[in-house]
A and B are shown apart, each in its own frame.
Chain A
Amino acid sequence: MIDPRVYEMFRDIGRDMFVHNLISSHGGNISVRYGDRIIIKRRGAMLGNLKPHDLIETGLDKNDSGVALASTELIVHRAIYKATPALAVVHAHPRRAIALSLVRDEIVPIDNEGSYLLKKIPVVSVEFASGSPQMANTVAEALKSYKCVMLRGHGSFATGQTLDEAFQWTDAFEEVCEIIFYAKQLGEEMIEYRKMSDAYTKW
């Protein structure tokens, strides 16, 4: 039995992801970990329009009938929870971030808010970039050291204590990428305003 307060949290974050253009109609997925249980979005459900029956509960380790209904990325969420102390995961398809991931191995914010919150977002790459064990392990490994990582050509994964927090990193990340796009379009030399800015690549 899923607490109605948990549903409301999923519904609100899912809707905001859609409104913020972080996903298309049926893209992305979100989950929370409660001990040895995971609550995750139903496969094929629309994050922007979640109903109570779109929340699926299943085991962190152990399969049950929930796996037949859960998001196809369940394997990634499980791997992340096992590798990190995260209690929430947000997976999105932020468009500018996807574009940047095709040309960079890491994305270093140039704006103040992005530097302050994220420092650096590594880009990881796998051959089968949807729901594969290789992808799950690669993403989970990167999230041991970073709260938000980018899977090249696919999307972002962010962790937090709450869905709210993981969503914040995701939305902040897309903003970082948008600002990089704008700055690039200006075509002028950037004026560095941050002390020790070279060190962000070592974060």
Chain B
Amino acid sequence: MNGWMGKILVIDLTAGTIVTQPLDMDMARLFIGGRGLGARLLWDLVPPGVEPLSPENVLIFATGPLTATGFQTSNRFSVSTLSPLTGTVLDANSGGWWGMRLKKAGWDALIVKGRAPQPVYIEITPAGVEIKAATHLWGMTASETCAALGQDNNKRNVVCIGPAGENGVRFAAIMNDVARSAARGGPGAVMGSKNLKAIVIEGSEKVDFEDKERFRFVQYEATKMLKANPITSQALPEFGTAVMMNIVNAVGALPTRNFQQSHFEHAEAISGETLTEKYLVENRSCWACPIGCTRVTKTSHKEGEGPEYETTWAFGAACGIDDLEAIAEANYLCNDLGLDTISCGATIACAMELSERGALKSDLRFGRADLLLQTVEDIAYRRGLGNELAEGSARLARHYEMPELSMSVKGMEMPAYDPRGMQGQGLLYATSNRGGCHMRGNMLGLEVLGLPKLIDRLQVQGKASYVILHQNSSAVIDSLVACKFANIAVADEYFARALTALTGVEYPTGEMIRAGERIWNLERLYNNRAGFTRADDTLPPRLLNEPATGGSAGQVSHLAPMLEEYYRARGWDPNGVPTPRKLEELSLADLVVSA
């Protein structure tokens, strides 16, 4: 067995059972690992009709063949589940050390089922696997939990939830290694619903290679790419991901005040440059990562990790706030309480607009940095108005009969790129399988940064093909599992060659991307099965009707023609359902028949 470890750990918290099952190698070859493997397992384990926060939902923590091999950024894991925020298929993905450790403990995946009668944590060590009482940990923050369980990057790694996950906040994160997070879509709430506080892992097994010499050569060539690329070698290490703030703002694609504008007049104050100049203590790297985008920052009150670009935007431009210190502290708090910063900030932005329009009675207003920390805490503990915000912006806006003010797709809040200034990005959000998300492929590279080459960001014709290619590619990167930032400099062909050298399974670049297409279509089938239709592949009306400002002044999203082109190019019918021919081509036809 090369690349994969060959086994999956299945823990049923209701029954208290711990079982080892072999990894189905046909499944592994088709779906690779990580997100792809998670989606395939979820298809069988969680049928339609399951309530996301019930014991019938599962959590699938999965590594991929590249994990723990030492290949650049091979530290990550994905967690797949039915999302309590969107009701769609979900995978969230995190870096750090824990993913590497799960693989080194000998597991391709860990499936958690059921619900423990009392709070528990799972301990996986070379001595065995145990389910242990966690009553003493319940209520602790992520950093407290990690400390209590002996988090040590060199040998013992912890994944856990904070109070937000315990309290079922629909965008609660799963935190690992203190401040890394698998956050989008609320996997932390699912973990909390299982009374599972943490999973601790020790392990030092090695991954086997088919052709280690060839693998190391590919890795060496990838190193050249990372060193030569100014984004991965200079911009991200020096400024973190927030280096995008001024760039995106300059083209008029920085959503501001709940997407009422697309240019923020105070962007400079919350930029990566300002963060580095005023607050940066040091930058850190995840395991086997030469980039080091993680920020350790210090405000006048606290020290912590972050904020990164999306967070800075969510608590900053989206809320009309230019106080970088308040933004950083909101980020520290989200890390500790276990919250997705994007949905948290964007939901607060939605509440600010609802309040300004008189629909919601609260003091929240755009620019009110002084209310940020208290609001974040209230959300995590579901106190007062926080209890309503903990449901996410879609439910909140619907409750106040202004659903159009939720800047979300399929219930997930969109991040920091305005579709009116990046036409492809709008199509990408509208068709994303987990809702409004920039990590299912991102058009930032093509439409703004010129990676690999710049295309016209306002062009409509042909955008669907670019979006599809990047969606398929991202599905593969999430299945290997690697970091999207490495993929900025290291093209897909390097990953394909590394995968081939590692596993001995021939993956020409096109075949590897085809696996991504297979994963994408499987996720789509899952959502179709759950009742999602073409009507859900849309954007908030504001983006279709209200013109952008700044560098994209006057633009709206031209979603309709792009969506038509997208369905055809995907080989789907006009309702957005994959055709039998397409499923046959992707070796998915049997799956649908058996369902």
Contact = CB atoms under 8 A, between A and B. Distances in A.
A5 interface: yes
A202 B510 contact: no
Contact of B464 (A35, A144, A203): A35
Interface string B488-499: 000011000100
A36 interface: yes
B246 to A, nearest CB: 25
Interface string A24-37: 00000000111110
A202 B466 contact: no
Interface stretch (B85-93, B390-398, B400-408, B452-460): B452-460
Interface string B532-569: 00000000000000000000000000000000011011
B510 A36 contact: no
B214 A199 contact: yes
Given A85-B472, A144-B511, A195 B221 contact: no
Interface in A128-152: 144-145, 147
B453 A165 contact: yes
Nearest to B450: A164
A83 interface: yes
B588 interface: no
Given A160-B452, A160-B453, A34 B461 contact: yes
A34 B295 CA distance: 40
Contacts, number: 79
A145 B497 CA distance: 9
A116 to B, nearest CB: 6
Interface in B434-470: 446, 452-456, 459-462, 464-466, 468-469
Contacts of A145: 493, 508-509
A147 B497 CA distance: 13
Contacts of B461: 2-3, 5-6, 34
A196 interface: yes
Contacts of A161: 446, 452-453, 466, 469
B221 A119 contact: yes
Contacts of A196: 217, 220
Q: By DSSP majority rule, is chain B's interface helix, strand, loop, or mixed?
A: helix
Interface residues of B, number: 38
Given A85-B513, A160-B453, A161-B446, A35 B217 contact: no
Interface in A1-53: 2-3, 5-6, 32-36
Nearest to A146: B493
B228 interface: yes
Contacts of B455: 162
19 contacts: A5-B456, A6-B459, A33-B465, A34-B462, A34-B464, A35-B568, A36-B569, A85-B510, A116-B225, A116-B228, A145-B509, A161-B453, A161-B469, A162-B446, A162-B452, A164-B454, A199-B214, A202-B214, A203-B497
Interface of A: 2-3, 5-6, 32-36, 83-85, 87, 116, 119, 144-145, 147, 160-162, 164-165, 168, 195-196, 199, 202-203
Interface of B: 213-214, 217, 220-221, 224-225, 228, 446, 452-456, 459-462, 464-466, 468-469, 472-473, 492-493, 497, 508-511, 513-514, 565-566, 568-569
Given A3-B461, A87-B466, 5 more contacts: A6-B462, A33-B465, A34-B465, A35-B569, A83-B510
